[in-house]
Structure 1
Amino acid sequence: MPLDYLIIGAGPAGLQLAALLQRDGRDYLVLEAGPTPGTFFTTYPRHRQLISINKIWTGSEDPEFNLRADWNSLLTDDPALLFKNYSRRYFPHADDLLRYLADFAHGLQVRYDTRVTRVARDGDVFTVCTGEDTLTAHRVVVATGVSQLYVPPIEGIALAERYDTVSVDPDDFTNQRVLIIGKGNSAFETADALVETAAVIHVAGPHSIKLAWQSHYVGHLRAVNNNFLDTYQLKSQNAVLDGTVERITRRDDGGYRIDFRYARTVESTRHLDYDRIILCTGFRFDASIFDPSARPRLVHNDRFPEQNSAYESVNVPGLHFAGTLTQQRDFKRSTSGFIHGFRYGVRALHRILTVRHHDSPWPSTPLENTPEAIADALITRLNRTSALWQQFAVLGDVVTVSGDTARYHEEVPVDYLHDGGLGPAPFAVVATLEYGPDHDQVDPFDITIPRIAENDAEHAHDASYLHPVIRVHRGGRLVAEHHLAENLENHWDLPAVHHQPLVLFLKGVLSDAD
């Protein structure tokens, strides 16, 4: 008999989904190519320091609130399986995550050293082949992450060393000229590691550096990896090159020459010489295992599978995705590419699968249908939820109203709601946490730029910092919107500033709910 669920990959996302399925007594199996959970993290990051924070002390004893500052724990009811029990470091060592995942996987249905070689689909059944076995399943969930290094189409690129295999011993680069292609965290992680030994380091790419503290996208360059920028701007023989590497050739003396076209000048192609060239251009999804009958459509230069709001392939029904692959849905805008974001996406996927295949509605609680009760419920949740905090603008709490009945649904993907996931166009009050539309254009350290005053309820809609947004939908159409004023401590519960304006807003919209 086919399995109900076959999960490919025992990384954090695959384990998170497996734990939820096991809790509910579902029929599932996880296949993992490596000998242990989280095989990706046995190699990456190469210099072994994670950039996912582990902030243990928050001043709160609320486990839900504390997950806002815990970017490594998976969702669990077992307090022993919180990452703070595995490391006290703010930026932990990757080996600590491996220990954590091994303990989390204990008791789950995982088959290790089992590499999937082919996935095909016939009707509503998938056939999954491994080196030693053939399995069938009604639904396949791919949680393999972006496991292949992305190699840009540059002539001579095979002459470059790769991030996944290059030496991590700085002494191997003593007094050498090094070019690093790429401007993301892996590129600057590598550059920082070579600052003490290399003679010259150039980091090159066609796009401007985007800093996470300004964009609020944690996949952009993090401060923990940007010490190299000091060595550039303070004239220490290093540089960031804005432009395109068009060709790499080998020099007669054993070094390399590149043809480089600058992005910001009219200068024609320039020739630059290096002893070593390292490729740090990010990762992509490996779609090679898919038969044409089950091959998902790819997007973003074929780096990610295209998905609908149920984290499902847009062209292969029953083929779902979990984990960092789901960042296609909020590409470079929110946190689905990272544990602290996709753990909630996996929980949402689990609920979607339960709604679809196990005749169970989205979990909800009844609520008194009054403006005061709904405002109280929303403000209470907004001040402690970790899911909406981490998956800003992606997940929302939804209050549906029908007649005298109101129900509170937590952590619904906003796009899934709009696609009818909670039923055909309900009257819905949707609460999200969001930054302002131009938040990434504002330098948060420039005191000459005017900002909305803290707790300014009248101008809350102009705020650029993270704050609650309440939207009301009726018949599939947005009919009203209300912003809660931003607050330095992220406390959106002041009676006159937050609660009373929200009650007044809800009184106006609920009168149209019948």
Structure 2
Amino acid sequence: MVRDYLIIGAGPAGLQLAALLEGDGLDYLVLERGSGPGTFFTTYPRHRKLISINKVNTGNTDPEINLRMDWNSLLSDDPRLLLGHYTDRYFPQADDLVRYLADFAERTGVRVEYGTDVVRISRARGVFTARDAAGRTWRARRLVVATGVSRLNVPSVPGIELAERYDTFDTDPASFTNQRVLVIGKGNSAFETADALMEKAAVIHVAGPHSVRMAWKTHFVGHLRAVNNNFLDSYQLKSQNAVLDGAVENIERTADGRYRVVFRYARTTEGLRELRYDRIVLCAGFRFDADVFDQTCRPALVIDDRFPEQTSAFESVNVPGLYFAGTLTQQRDFKRSTNGFIHGFRYGARALHRILRSRHHDTPWPSRTLAAAPEAVADAVVARVNRSSGLWQQFGFLGDVVSVDGDTARYQEEVPLDHVADGGLGPAAHRFVVDLEYGPGHDQVDPFDVGIPRVAENDAEHAADSAYLHPVVRHYRDGALAGVHHLAENLENDWDVPAVHQQPLAAFVKSCLG
């Protein structure tokens, strides 16, 4: 039997895409190594607190707007399938997410083969074959990999095998009592670990070649989050802890059972430095595991071979029919937007679903028609930017598209911007593309520095200089960029002041249409 789709992985992304395919009645099957959905979250994060927010009390009754503050729920028409019904903790426990995903799988009726450890994937004559550890095989015309970054990222450092690994080390802080500890890595897993050990360890050093980047400054939620940054306070207030900028060059075990680490500082004239530790924990992130693919369909890799390289349609650049969903799709917006996280890739999975329907099932991207009058276009855009959770969560990556031909306009929602640029929606005489963006250089300034000049709220005249998140509308004439309009930023993210938002936008649309 050759199916239309095989999905590898029943994590959040695999479940999201499967639920959408199930709703269409399409031919698919999900293969999952674990005994239930969300296996990754039964182990990670190791200290069990998620950094994805779950804000239940928003003061709003609109479920679409509330998804802006819900970073864990998948997209569904079932109002019961929201993580807020499982916990009201702002930062939920990972076990709550696992329970939620199990219910999502059951209530949506997705078809999953659990206990299926895929060990080899091949492709012949346009058909993929997946073989599991028990020797069973499944075949499909198209394969969607939603396994996430499942392999620990291990730097090429002599002696790195002596370090304890984030995926297996003993997380009980008591085992680190009065010890000198080196944590290798500067992401959230490293600081989560350091923070957990502070009450017991004597000395903790967190080390990596790049400077710490704060999420509140860069607006990339994968950078260090405030929930994990207590360690920085202990460092700056001289409490025996430190953050080291530089590279570990060698690790050796000494005769007394401790470790000698050769370290090269990044920002000083000092050469190599020898440091001594009782324990070393490797927390350098994760990478994509491409070893299951044989040479007939091995995808090209990028970003230090940590991610599969993809087109704007989430398809492998070198293997036709091989698609990706979930955190793997962050290759398309690496450290710029939110495809690496549930609150981002749930919309990416929906976009992939629409791309697959358009390419393989003669179903165009969903659209609605409206009058081509400038006021009608402006009103439709303003209504969407004030309510949409997809544009909000996938800033700078997804956009709404208004195509105008003659007296009719067609409105299409949440299209990947690169997919539009690559002609994925076909030609149009006039096309307006709207997304939400931060201003250029927003990640280079301290957002808490009151001395930095800023654009006033609702300042339409200087809207193009806005640094905070705000709508941007671009006009394309026959595929070529012809004009850009910024809507003024607003403290409450309400872009609905007629004289400030609708009227200037309507005037822009009118001028573009001549």
TM > 0.5 = yes
Please name the residue that 1:114 is paired with. Answer: 116
8 Å contact 1:418–1:425 — kept in the other structure? no
After TM superposition, the structure 1 stretch with the greater mean CA deviation from structure 2, 74-83 or 421-430, is 421-430
Separation of aligned partners in 2, 1:327 and 1:426: 32
Query: What secondary structure does 1:293 align onto?
Result: coil
Query: What secondary structure does 1:81 align onto?
Result: coil
Separation of aligned partners in 1, 2:164 and 2:33: 25
1:139 has 2:175 as partner: no
The AA in structure 1 aligned to 2:318 is N
Separation of aligned partners in 2, 1:151 and 1:328: 19
The CA deviation string for residues 131-166 of structure 1, in whole angstroms up to 9 with x for no partner, is: 231111000000000000000000100010000011
The AA in structure 2 aligned to 1:122 is A
1:403 has 2:402 as partner: no
Please name the residue that 2:310 is paired with. Answer: 307
The AA in structure 1 aligned to 2:343 is H
Please name the residue that 1:470 is paired with. Answer: 473
Please name the residue that 2:19 is paired with. Answer: 19
The AA in structure 1 aligned to 2:491 is L
- 1:53-202 to 2 correspondences below 5 Å: 53-106=53-106, 107-130=109-132, 131-202=134-205
Instruction: Quote the offset at 1:477 in angstroms.
Output: 1.0
Aligned residues: 511
Separation of aligned partners in 1, 2:428 and 2:154: 44
Separation of aligned partners in 1, 2:127 and 2:427: 28
The AA in structure 1 aligned to 2:120 is R
Q: Structure 1: where are the runs of 5+ without partners?
A: none
The AA in structure 2 aligned to 1:339 is I
Separation of aligned partners in 2, 1:510 and 1:16: 39
Query: What secondary structure does 1:294 align onto?
Result: coil
Q: Provide the identity percentage.
A: 71
8 Å contact 1:232–1:238 — kept in the other structure? yes
Instruction: Quote the offset at 1:268 in angstroms.
Output: 1.0
Please name the residue that 2:330 is paired with. Answer: 327
8 Å contact 2:403–2:428 — kept in the other structure? no
The CA deviation string for residues 37-81 of structure 1, in whole angstroms up to 9 with x for no partner, is: 010001000000000000011121111000000000000000000
Instruction: Quote the offset at 1:426 in angstroms.
Output: 4.8
The CA deviation string for residues 77-98 of structure 1, in whole angstroms up to 9 with x for no partner, is: 0000011001110000000000
The AA in structure 2 aligned to 1:368 is A
Query: What secondary structure does 1:105 align onto?
Result: helix
1:375 has 2:378 as partner: yes
The CA deviation string for residues 90-140 of structure 1, in whole angstroms up to 9 with x for no partner, is: 000000000000000112100000011111111211111112311110000
Q: Structure 2: where are the runs of 5+ without partners?
A: none
Query: What secondary structure does 1:79 align onto?
Result: coil
Please name the residue that 1:206 is paired with. Answer: 209
Separation of aligned partners in 2, 1:474 and 1:354: 27
Query: What secondary structure does 2:343 align onto?
Result: helix
After TM superposition, the structure 1 stretch with the greater mean CA deviation from structure 2, 501-510 or 122-131, is 122-131
Please name the residue that 1:291 is paired with. Answer: 294
Query: What secondary structure does 2:80 align onto?
Result: helix
Instruction: Quote the offset at 1:402 in angstroms.
Output: 1.0
Give the TM-score taking structure 1 as reference length: 0.99
Please name the residue that 1:482 is paired with. Answer: 485
Please name the residue that 1:433 is paired with. Answer: 436
8 Å contact 2:488–2:501 — kept in the other structure? yes
The CA deviation string for residues 298-332 of structure 1, in whole angstroms up to 9 with x for no partner, is: 00111000000000000000000000000000000
The AA in structure 2 aligned to 1:194 is L
The AA in structure 2 aligned to 1:250 is R
Instruction: Quote the offset at 1:424 in angstroms.
Output: 2.9
Please name the residue that 2:511 is paired with. Answer: 508
**Aligned CA distance change for structure 1 residues 9 and 365 (closer, same or farther; 3 Å):** same
1:252 has 2:255 as partner: yes
Give the TM-score taking structure 2 as reference length: 0.99
